[in-house]
Structure 1
């Protein structure tokens, strides 16, 4: 286990991932040769990270500050999405005005801890942690050269408020929505992304794959790669569209593989299957295989942890730890590594080019 003090002394650390989770951002950074360490409060997710060889600090991000990681030059953050998700209770959406107010207070360097304690869901305030870290690093005289943030699309107003604050502090900033399937992720999920740069122009990655549409074919845009279907990614499932968003929640038939909205999205899966736009899961039942039905009901569609991870573009065999429910949570909460790599590669193009000499 990597300790906080050990991490702070580690001269290899370049990126701090404030909400490390099961490692979506960190796997991407590693693939690009960028040393990264993740802070994560959930024990099961930390066990997953350690099993995957990812540097980890187990603890609450609010208990740390930039000075604890003095060699870090860049910052990543995907705060918990549940308060803001359409499929959740909506505490974040109801508190959006308050969150934006607190962002303004942070920009004025005021202590907002007492105010944050009044929010209904304590996770709601975590969306402000990347701003706190960025401003503290600035005030410490060691500003982050790159800040990369991601969340569900309902958080975009928060990112836009942060963008205005960071521009006033000398950053160039871009924000926007990015569709996962446009980067080769075999699912339709919209991500709100912010990229800030200290030394040059910030930019978001251009799509590499076509955007999914029910009324156009998979290769509708000849200038881009075709989007990846669920069946192509898993060997079973929908053949004429990507998978629906991997959700965190569970239901009577097992974890819901569909997009937020629950039963309505399951109907979409059944509709595709009943229309024949489907490949049946014929894998044998065993320790590493989950049938697409449960309790003898062969009409029940179910996605295993490994299937959900594949739809999120985790590498095969990523060692998820904890209960099955915890494993599904880790998958559903993650930034898809393929999308994360596209964001990092574009945002940090200058540094990556310098490393390779290109």
Structure 2
């Protein structure tokens, strides 16, 4: 795949604010596009990874920054991005899911009509069934706060880019209606597109579907979704033609998958213009040579909420959705033509590469598998930012360049700015006991 001719961004100097920034997937994307970024992240270990990677970071609660420290953010920021912790919309077809969506829609309406922050916060604490409802509203609250910021001369953000799991699409649709039809309380309106996209169609060696929103302030042109660059992965067709004999004999374990998101008019391309989807072997064998033998990967749980994706994939296929359980994937290697044996599981750098992170990205802290799984795939993020800003599409090769980690001096400076001290957290950093969203064991379960 070759890049299109260079284009001028719709903004003279794009500068990204990344809410719920994680270890830096969207920031890596911005870095590769030569766009400055600034991330706000709650989790201490994710911040340690960001400091080691040289990414500007504030170790803080996104909500607290909006309330108490918004004026300290760089005033040049003109692109708002992020992916709030996913809601309980996996039950959107049931009563609990519908109620959650209705609640969010009501709060969006109240925000757009100018209800005070104090009233919104009070009612969120009093009525919300899930504190994550407040977090999914934060991007909108940041967009409104920007228009009330003396430090920014009350300038609204020019571009908004949001992404999350597919079940959050109805929330983005509510966002779109509010931004497009009602406008922010100061009158600012946006042109908006929303859809669910498959990351393997953008060169990420992994099947992962994401609900995305791209908005541009009226006057900056109508936004478009990023055009696909690679074929969608069709597991049933691949299994029929290519599955090795050692997994063909175990038909129940074959990864049948589920249909990829339908191509939209703005993302459709003719088959002749698309490259084949990228496989695990493409990345792990040819990029850095970490896996020299053919291998099989068995996941022990459903992928992207689709139980049908449970099973085995080979190195000739994309990875199943990389989540915080990637360290549990069992990897089998070929001893000879007919025998396989359990080999070493994926390292965190290998897992990161399946997310399209650079091979030498400096994962740090604890719960690294969770960091990897929670991250935005940088290559996908680069496509989103490029489409949002009117830039030429990125290429996988642009993510292969060696990553330059921070020096000890740079890391200390970043942590001092982000935590308040060069080598430790301070009282201004979030406390682990207050971590949100709640652990999975506390999340509501579907009734049988």
Q: Secondary structure at the match of 2:356?
A: coil
Relative to structure 1, the CA distance from residue 305 to residue 209 in structure 2 (aligned partners, 3 Å threshold; closer, same or farther) is same
Q: Secondary structure at the match of 2:147?
A: helix
5+ residue gaps, structure 2: 1-12, 184-188, 243-269, 286-290, 318-328, 333-339, 394-448
Q: Secondary structure at the match of 1:160?
A: helix
Relative to structure 1, the CA distance from residue 94 to residue 310 in structure 2 (aligned partners, 3 Å threshold; closer, same or farther) is farther
1:316 aligns with 2:367: no
1:60-79 matches, cutoff 5 A: 60-65=61-66, 66-69=70-73, 70-79=75-84
- Alpha-carbon deviation of 1:334? 0.7
Distance in 2, Cα, partners of 1:21 & 1:228? 25
TM-score, structure 2 length as denominator? 0.61
Conserved? CA contact 2:386–2:392, under 8 Å: no
Question: Larger deviation: 140-149 or 52-61?
Answer: 140-149
1:106 aligns with 2:111: yes
TM-score, structure 1 length as denominator? 0.75
Conserved? CA contact 2:165–2:209, under 8 Å: yes
1:116 aligns with 2:124: yes
1:335 aligns with 2:376: yes
5+ residue gaps, structure 1: 1-11, 244-252, 279-289, 353-358
1:274-293 matches, cutoff 5 A: 292=331
Distance in 1, Cα, partners of 2:292 & 2:89? 29
- 2:279 aligned to which of 212, 225, 229: 229
1:76-155 matches, cutoff 5 A: 76-81=81-86, 83-84=88-89, 95-110=100-115, 111-117=119-125, 118-140=127-149, 141-155=154-168
Other-structure match for 2:201: 182
1:288-299 matches, cutoff 5 A: 292=331, 298=341
- Alpha-carbon deviation of 1:116? 1.9
Relative to structure 1, the CA distance from residue 263 to residue 109 in structure 2 (aligned partners, 3 Å threshold; closer, same or farther) is same
Other-structure match for 1:207: 228
- Alpha-carbon deviation of 1:300? 8.2
- 1:156 aligned to which of 148, 169, 174: 169
Distance in 2, Cα, partners of 1:201 & 1:156? 20
Distance in 2, Cα, partners of 1:310 & 1:201? 33
Relative to structure 1, the CA distance from residue 301 to residue 85 in structure 2 (aligned partners, 3 Å threshold; closer, same or farther) is farther
Conserved? CA contact 1:52–1:319, under 8 Å: yes
Write the deviation string for residues 107-153 of structure 1: whole angstroms up to 9, x where unpaired: 12223112222434323321110010112223442100100000001
Write the deviation string for residues 241-283 of structure 1: whole angstroms up to 9, x where unpaired: 9x8xxxxxxxxx9x9686235875442x1xx46xx978xxxxx
Conserved? CA contact 2:14–2:79, under 8 Å: no
Q: Which has the higher contact order (CA 8 A, sep 6+)?
A: 2
Q: Secondary structure at the match of 1:158?
A: helix
Distance in 2, Cα, partners of 1:92 & 1:316? 39
Conserved? CA contact 2:89–2:100, under 8 Å: no
Distance in 1, Cα, partners of 2:161 & 2:284? 30
- Alpha-carbon deviation of 1:201? 1.3
Question: Larger deviation: 113-122 or 42-51?
Answer: 113-122
Conserved? CA contact 1:48–1:320, under 8 Å: yes
Conserved? CA contact 1:85–1:154, under 8 Å: yes
Distance in 2, Cα, partners of 1:240 & 1:206? 32
Distance in 1, Cα, partners of 2:197 & 2:177? 20
